[in-house]
Amino acid sequence: MQDLPPIGGYEPVQWKRNLPSRGFRPVIYFWLISGAMGYGFYRFYQGVDEQRELTREKQWARFFLQPLLIAEEDRNTARRYFSELKRQELVKESMSDEMKAKFEEEIYHDKSKLRLPRYTAGGPASEH
Amino acid sequence: MLNFVELLLMFVSVLLAVAFLTVAERKTLGYMQRRVGPNAVGYYGMLMAMADAAKLLLKEMVMPTHADKLMLIMSPMMSLMSAFLCWSFMPFAPGTTMSDHSYGLMFTLAMSSVGVFGTLLAGWSANSKYSLLGSMRSTAQLISYELMLTTMVLLCMLLTGTMNLSKYVELQESMWMGVPLFPMSMMWFMGCVAECARPPFDNVEAESELVSGHMTEYSSSMFVLFFLSEYTSMLFLSTLTSMLFFGGGTGMMLGMKANMFAFTYMWVRATLPRVRYDKLMHMCWVMFLPLLFGLAMFLPSLMYFMDAMVYTYPTM
């Protein structure tokens, strides 16, 4: 004889745990996070806007300064050129004749190009 | 000459930070498990790191007979070098960085990828089943999570429009990126924990299954290199977290933020049990990556929209 279920069946089994739900409802978390993200993007884009403005300002400052910077560079080149000539004069004074002949030889024979001395021997520019 | 002194200063500081991080971890875990942790060496066990280092370095180095010895020695070095090189573009303060390069973030990504080879070759060269299995696991894990972290870094780059970390930090003066990218920063943290193979994602060295993962055949100073690289990359990733999502900072501030994130690694370790390996992979490839690719489509559209707003209403 097999045991049969009681008349009317077994009592319903409680399989679900009754845990207390903690915190807010999920949808509230969703909106909280979305709100924070929205605010974050808003503030971040304010920063981006500011960076763009700064970049624009820097570019225009550069445009206006460019002639001045070029002039300064040219002035520096000219100063170096004349100081190099002067240096050669000074060097020549203390040379033997054959050395002087060698010294006065052209280094470059191509006369089609202008070569300005950007780099000269000696210390930094302030010492010239 | 002074350059080298600078480099030395930085790397020694990183090494010291790593050394004390190990003590901090043991203390933290100790208190979280209601015991005191190391407390005998120095005040409050502060010099435990030095004692550990001395012990490890003085031990005998056992070389497995059938191992590929060159590779066995090279691979921890590769790991450590990559972990250290990641630090070279870290701006500790405005203008205080080893190299203020316009592609610093890219270099950092590249360097952290190189570290995987150390793990891979270590497992292969040791000629041991445990090492091989461990390294296969860890390589798969590292590659998967690196994909995730790289995607996130690329998205951050896209938003800020710069790969220079100093510039990136400067751009966050208006808002920390962690706020607009809040869900992504949480994913980033999980990815970092997995990338460092820290618990709960430390399947790499699950003692009950694989003795010690790819580090099984390593002893004394070679093991120290692996250990250092692990903790260096952990510290690096927590610093990078504070830099990418929480505004970086100057000197002490950055250190405090980084410390906070380093602490969370230990906290997580003390709290959570290890997850199953397939679940780990599932989380990366099935949950995080599709979400990230979705974000990778969403963020450019959002930027397009925001740019349009900025140019339409310039006072926004």
A47 to chain B: nearest residue by CA?
A: B174
The answer to whether the Cβ–Cβ distance between B180 and A37 falls below 8 Å is: yes
A124 has a pLDDT exceeding 70: no
Contacts of B302 in chain A (CB under 8 A): 41
Count of domains in chain B?
2
Report pLDDT for A4: 87
CA distance B272 to B268: 6
Report pLDDT for B316: 47
A38 to chain B: nearest residue by CA?
A: B180
pLDDT tens readout for residues B136-177: 888 999 999 999 999 999 999 999 988 999 989 988 988 999
A122 has a pLDDT exceeding 70: no
- Classify B100 as helix, strand or coil: coil
Same domain, B137 and B37: no
Of A88, A93, A124, nearest in space to A105 by CA:
A88
A94 has a pLDDT exceeding 60: yes
Same domain, B126 and B94: yes
A120 has a pLDDT exceeding 60: no
In this structure, is residue B29 part of a structural domain? yes
**% of residues, chain B, pLDDT over 90:** 46
A15 has a pLDDT exceeding 90: no
Q: With the CA atoms of B216, B222, B224 and B229 taken in that order, what torsion angle do they form, in degrees rounded to the nearest 10?
A: -90
Report pLDDT for B82: 93
Lowest mean pLDDT among A38-47, B87-96, B207-216, B237-246: B207-216
Interface of B with A in 270-309 (CB under 8 A): 302, 306, 309
**% of residues, chain B, pLDDT over 70:** 97
Helix A26-93 × helix A97-104 angle, to 10°: 140
Contacts of B310 in chain A (CB under 8 A): 45, 48-49, 52
- The alpha-carbon radius of gyration of chain B (Å, integer) is 20
In this structure, is residue B242 part of a structural domain? yes
Same domain, B123 and B19: no
Mean pLDDT of chain B: 88
Per-residue confidence at B312, pLDDT binned at 50, 70, 90?
A: low
Structure tokens, B242: 């504070």
Per-residue confidence at A121, pLDDT binned at 50, 70, 90?
A: low
CA distance B21 to B10: 16
Same domain, B23 and B158: no
A7 has a pLDDT exceeding 80: yes
Of B135, B158, B152, nearest in space to B189 by CA:
B152
| CA distance between the termini of chain A | 120
Report pLDDT for B68: 87
pLDDT tens readout for residues B265-286: 999 999 998 888 899 999 999 9
Per-residue confidence at A127, pLDDT binned at 50, 70, 90?
A: very low
Alpha carbon separation from B53 to A12, A58, B18, B171 (Å, rounded): 62, 52, 12, 40
Same domain, B267 and B286: yes
- From the DSSP assignment, how many helices (H) and strands (E) are in chain B? 11, 0
Asked if B132 and B99 touch (Cβ cutoff 8 Å), the reply is no
Asked if A36 and A43 touch (Cβ cutoff 8 Å), the reply is no
Using a CB–CB cutoff of 8 Å, tell me whether B182 touches chain A. yes
CA distance B31 to B270: 10
Asked if B146 and B110 touch (Cβ cutoff 8 Å), the reply is no
Report pLDDT for B269: 92
Same domain, B212 and B151: yes
Per-residue confidence at B313, pLDDT binned at 50, 70, 90?
A: low
Same domain, B31 and B151: no
Per-residue confidence at B204, pLDDT binned at 50, 70, 90?
A: confident
Alpha carbon separation from A115 to A90, A107, B53 (Å, rounded): 21, 11, 62
- Sequence-distant (6+) residues with CB within 8 A of B80 are B118, B225, B226, B228, B229, B232
Higher-confidence position of A105 and B82: B82
CA distance B182 to B189: 11
**% of residues, chain A, pLDDT over 90:** 29
Chain centroid to CA B106: how far?
16
Same domain, B54 and B147: no
Report pLDDT for B216: 81
**What average pLDDT does the segment B200-218 reach?**
77
In this structure, is residue B50 part of a structural domain? yes
Report pLDDT for B212: 74
**What average pLDDT does the segment B53-77 reach?**
88
Higher-confidence position of B205 and B22: B22
Using a CB–CB cutoff of 8 Å, tell me whether A37 touches chain B. yes
Type of residue numbered B207: E
From A37, A46, A52, residue closest to B174, measured CB to CB: A46
Domain boundary among B19, B38, B58: B58
DSSP B118-131: HHHHHHHHTT-HHH
Same domain, B150 and B196: yes
In this structure, is residue B63 part of a structural domain? no
In this structure, is residue B158 part of a structural domain? yes
Report pLDDT for B187: 94
The residue range of the domain holding B307 is: 68-312
The minimum CA-CA distance between A68 and chain B, rounded to whole Å, is 28
Same domain, B292 and B231: yes
